[in-house]
Amino acid sequence: MSPSANFTISDFPHKVLNPIATNTIAPSYTSLLLAQRQLSANASAIPSLNGGGAHGHMALTLTAAVYAKLSDVPFVIPVAPPADPEPGTTQPQITKNNRLHKRAVAIHSLYVAVNNALRRQLLDAVPRVYVRDLEHPQFVYSHVTCLDLLDHLWRNFGTISASDLKKNIQSMYTPWNPADPIETIFHRLTDAIAYSTAGRDPISEAAAVRAGYDILEHSGLFPRACETWRTALPDMHTLADLRTLFKVADTDRKRTVTTGALGYANALSAPSSAPPFDCVRHPQSPLLCSLCVAFLYRHHGENILLDPWLQQ
């Protein structure tokens, strides 16, 4: 299939970039990383056989060194072909030269069009004050590439400070809201490790695991899983093992909560005046006790006489 420059922003997975900065808040490593990811995703969404053919136009957002980590085949920047195809001495040769010229024009035009679109997205996401050094008196930003702008922003605003590294460590201990997926804990840990590595002060996996376990233990929701973790061999205390164990525990926790809620609902709909649970047999369960209280209150009003241990 021949390439075509007839693409629109709708072909990008990210139609608009997240703001990189404001007039009062400068770009940061975090905001630049997000912009880098969004731009790279957009660039890779526009197909190209160049650079191995597997990464679209991602060379527009990555340096040659970084692109080399993705592909063994370097991305060769398309050069504008001459205005007219090379002449030929025979009709078959003329036909071939016309076809090759048309293809070269399409490849170059698409490359330029994608770069222009990415550059526009980037400029729309950052106030001009942060890229003013690249502005030309006459051509403004038409002479720079998206990669030029990214390189400038990374060099000037992508530094991770000691204060940032300290906040990054603290972020690993942020309490978990059980209403959120448990994966948020593990994603936060892996993000913290990656951030610290970028800041040249890497957090060890063991430190991240300790932080993750601390959060899970203090949630109070996984006593059995915590006991299993504490008694496991030290070489099993990896981030992957932590994730596996507590994802299973969390799945079981959700199933237990759902089952209990369904049992309570069925009990309320049953035509019986007896409590849905035998509280005498289950005095150790606060959940069962609360369900019994709610059931009795519903059927007997405020005059219910409860056992003393239910009133505690």
Q: What is the pLDDT of residues 254-277, one digit of tens each?
A: 888 766 555 545 544 555 444 443
pLDDT at 277: 39
pLDDT at 279: 41
Cβ atoms within 10 Å of 41's Cβ, excluding its own: 15
Q: Which residue has the tokens 């550059």?
A: 119
Q: Cα-flanking dihedrals φ and ψ of residue 136, to 5°?
A: -90, 145
pLDDT at 261: 55
Question: Letter for the amino acid at 302?
Answer: E
Strand, helix or coil at 173?
A: coil
pLDDT at 283: 42
pLDDT at 289: 42
* Cα–Cα nearest to 130, from 61, 62, 32: 32
Alpha helices in the chain (DSSP H): 29-44, 64-70, 91-125, 146-157, 162-171, 183-198, 205-219, 223-231, 239-269, 286-300
pLDDT at 260: 56
Cβ atoms within 10 Å of 49's Cβ, excluding its own: 12
Indicate yes or no: pTM above 0.75. no
Q: Which parts of the chain have pLDDT scores under 50?
A: 1-2, 264, 267-268, 272-312
Per-residue tokens: 95: 């036909």
Angle, vertex CA 29, rays to CA 27 and CA 30, nearest 5: 95
DSSP state of 136: B
User: What size, in residues, is the chain?
Assistant: 312
* Cα–Cα nearest to 109, from 244, 3, 237: 3
Taking a C-beta distance cutoff of 8 angstroms, is the pair 35, 164 a contact? no
Q: Which residue has the tokens 């993000």?
A: 191
